Chain A
Amino acid sequence: MAYSDKVVDHYSNPRNVGSFDKNDPSVGTGLVGAPECGDVMKLQIKVNEQGIVEDAKFKTYGCGSAIASSSLATEWLKGKTLDEAYNIKNTEIVAELNLPPVKIHCSVLAEDAIKMAIEDYKKKKDVPAEKEAVTA
């Protein structure tokens, strides 16, 4: 199976590889997949006070399409509001990377990772807020 040029490009020059401190309250982390399934994606967002995704990073264990899907996702996330980010669809990733049907699950994984990272960020933000309310 031949890979599309865009998949090859993201694989060879992955964008935004790395990690943020997952305990940082402005960071949301999504970890999806499982080693025994052959794909694990870690996707992190850093959100500023205006609720905009300021930065995003990823690390992926998986095939070239999985790496490309998560690399592309980090590019798309930057500058988006959380609502916009939440609306990124796996089908858009499929279209952009020209993924064949057998690789659609890679894009689904990327969408799941985005949603999980946003939820993680929101959950973290809510917890200290509640604590403040209690102590006040």
Chain B
Amino acid sequence: MNFPIYMDHNATTPMDPRVLEAMMPYFTKVYGNAASRSHQYGWEAEEAVEKARQQIADLIGCTTKEIVFTSGATESDNLALMGIAEMYASKGNHIITLPTEHKAIIDTCKYLERHGKEVTYLSVDEFGMVDLEALRNAIKDTTILVSIMMANNEIGTIQPVAEIGKICREKGVIFHTDATQGVGKIPVDVNAMNIDLMSFTAHKMYGPKGVGALYVRKKSPRVKLSEQMHGGGHERGMRSGTLNVPGIVGFGKACEICKEEMESESKRLIYLRDKMINTFLSRVKYSYLNGHPTERLPHNVNVSFEYVEGEGLMMGIKDLAVSSGSACTSATLEPSYVLKALGRGDELAHSSIRYGLGRFTTEEEVDFAIEQTIDSVNHLRELSPLWEMFNEGIDLKSVQWAAH
């Protein structure tokens, strides 16, 4: 085993060596600008980009002309929200989203609110699931866009995207989904799911960092958006800028591999995920799963160990590269807004650890992670005044805390 063991695949993934191999020629040999129409270097680069576009389109069930390359999912999210808000400004100004979305959506919505748009943040249930009836009721005449993520990056909850798509189609509202965590991990079909716009990125699926895409529906309905990056009119005028040819080639290869291996890979990851979750919940008293138990990404484990603080725990599990929803790990000293939105109290957010498993995670590593975590939780509970008070039968909610 290599230490520390990488278990943060919801943050980013290592590149698959097959992806790197596919990219290599495009740095030093086929280095043309894909927009150069006058010579072979350009033609070959364009050919490589079109091949990648096809590989990506095949994974999500769309046509090549519906893929707009960007620098990553954050840019795709910005382009979708800003581009739609601007393009459809005469039709309405209302956007519906969730409080558990990635910051790329939340912060873009906040920006739009400051510029005259109205945003509704639908509440989610204790698993982070959207309420479909509430969504249906929130759509009004001025609603131009629903943006709901496919799967949550912290808690792994998978939203009923097809049902959301159906509601939006019935109501004639454009549906965008941030599918950064979903594409390559779970089956995605933009037509079957009635998705109009979809953000995703290569580096979450064993491709390179710095390249992403926005799927933009071309037919029934044709979705239009205002460009946010002005320049040479690349990507059908929706996103100017010289294409990142090696990155796009890697993105394509990553999609091809995911399409081929998704079924076996997700089966293996679900086994490891459930082994981890079930062992924690059965061997550690007062541990709780965050996120949905079954409608869940195959590679995401998020558990709160009550009476233990997440950052303190991460220091104990020093051989694991994981993340926590604890305040101490964020720049703002606020605990995870996603966990807070589940309405289960800030304490559980402070006590949470996210383990993101991946293509190269072994069962041996998972077993090691389980044991080191349990040892560390036991050690920290011995140190924890909350654990002591709980065992003395004191109701922690009745204590008058000297908050600081």
Contact = CB atoms under 8 A, between A and B. Distances in A.
Contacts of A11: 312, 315-316
A36 interface: yes
A19 B307 CA distance: 17
A63 B312 contact: yes
Contacts of A62: 309, 311-312, 328
Nearest to A1: B329
A34 B382 CA distance: 18
B385 A64 contact: no
Interface in B89-121: none
A72 interface: no
Interface stretch (B55-63, B226-234, B342-350): B342-350
Interface in A95-129: 102, 105, 108-109, 112, 116
- Residue with the greatest number of chain A CB neighbours at <10 A, chosen from B308, B326, B380: B380
Interface of B: 307-312, 315-316, 326-328, 333, 335, 345-347, 350, 380, 382-388, 396, 401-404
A34 B403 contact: yes
Contact of B312 (A31, A37, A64): A64
Q: Closest 3 A-B residue pairs measured CB to CB?
A: A34-B401, A42-B385, A36-B346
A39 B254 CA distance: 43
A61 B386 contact: yes
A34 B384 CA distance: 12
A94 interface: no
17 contacts: A3-B315, A31-B385, A33-B404, A34-B404, A35-B350, A35-B401, A37-B403, A38-B309, A38-B328, A38-B346, A40-B385, A41-B385, A60-B384, A62-B311, A63-B328, A67-B312, A67-B383
Interface of chain A: mostly helix, strand, loop or mixed: mixed
Given A11-B315, A33-B404, A60 B385 contact: yes
A109 B350 CA distance: 17
- Residue with the greatest number of chain A CB neighbours at <10 A, chosen from B333, B350, B396: B350
Interface in A19-74: 19, 31-42, 59-64, 66-67
A21 to B, nearest CB: 12
Contact of B309 (A19, A31, A61, A112): A61
B388 to A, nearest CB: 6
B308 A37 contact: no
Given A34-B404, A36-B403, 4 more contacts: A37-B327, A40-B401, A63-B311, A102-B333
A36 B311 CA distance: 14
Contact of B385 (A3, A38, A61, A102): A61
B374 to A, nearest CB: 17
A108 B404 CA distance: 10
Given A39-B309, A41-B385, A105-B404, A64 B315 contact: yes
Interface residues of A, number: 32
B402 A31 contact: yes
A31 B403 CA distance: 10
- Residue with the greatest number of chain A CB neighbours at <10 A, chosen from B347, B383, B388: B383
A79 interface: no
Interface string A1-29: 00100001001001001010000000000
B52 to A, nearest CB: 38
B128 to A, nearest CB: 20
A32 B403 CA distance: 7
Contacts of B307: 61
Interface in A70-104: 102
B3 to A, nearest CB: 16
A8 B383 CA distance: 15
Contacts of B382: 17
A38 B386 contact: no
A64 B311 contact: yes
